[in-house]
A = this chain, B = another copy of it.
């Protein structure tokens, strides 16, 4: 509860000096003894600066908002953790909004942006982001980072090596003799989805193949979404022998749906998922995955806010290349 002027009084100086000592103002000239008196008073009174006052004065809150699709999805949780760690390193805190929670979350976020409570905004939400949020962010001109997606907004864009990952997954299946490889994609229209679709297509076309219209199905990132999508996919193209899945959690859903349809993985259908999971080896069918640098992706999202160049950068995080982790969800086909 001690304030700056309490310290000042206790140290026998004016509050300006205390402030400048705390903030290491290089233009401040004080004697060594005075500085030490101030420091001692701070320690004695267990002083820490009032953050609201600081924020009011400096118009910085040291808070970064992040809008995430679904906090319980381990993939996104890992991204968040990277972002958190990086934020801490910069002495900022992250405040998480879950777009799964709908209007309440969006409204709260919008009001915080409006009130200047957020220094920056990171949007992971691949779905529809409230117009209110976007409008506020634009009108307050706060730096914005878009993860994977792309919106009609002046913002930084951070991506993963999506095309490479999807290409790798597809190639792996091709090497095992598969020719009819379907694609269980993420939400349509998003930048990273397109990039991965490109990877899938190009791997196919490198092998002299081209997919049919029904070979791809766009869907969400959850387990249930994956299950539904798989049913659609196999209905549209019933001759697929393999599937590339863009999200590990929807791969689990797909696995469940295949189970219900009485199809065995990998005997009847092979599968590779993008993104690894800590328990991928413990699944009913140990899942072959493409590991991506998710933690570093989260870090990059925050780091870019502290870079010099202000305008609309586009970064692809390549801390580590997409890496195939072979388990038991891919069978070899005899040609």
Contact = CB atoms under 8 A, between A and B. Distances in A.
Contact of A104 (B50, B78, B81, B88): B88
Nearest to A54: B115
A228 B329 CA distance: 27
A278 B249 CA distance: 10
Nearest to A88: B104
Given A51-B115, A252-B282, 12 more contacts: A48-B111, A52-B55, A52-B56, A52-B117, A55-B56, A63-B95, A72-B77, A72-B278, A93-B95, A93-B97, A93-B108, A223-B278
A281 interface: yes
A255 interface: yes
Interface string A139-151: 1100000000000
A94 interface: yes
Contacts of A97: 93
A211 interface: no
A101 B77 contact: no
A84 interface: yes
Contacts of A259: 282
Contact of A72 (B49, B74, B89): B74
- How many A residues are at the interface, by size bracket? 35 or more
14 contacts: A50-B56, A50-B116, A52-B115, A53-B56, A55-B56, A71-B84, A74-B74, A84-B101, A84-B105, A88-B104, A93-B95, A93-B97, A252-B279, A283-B284
Nearest to A118: B51
Nearest to A105: B88
A114 interface: yes
A216 to B, nearest CB: 24
A128 to B, nearest CB: 18
B98 A96 contact: no
B61 A71 contact: no
A50 B115 contact: yes
Contact of A282 (B98, B112, B284): B284
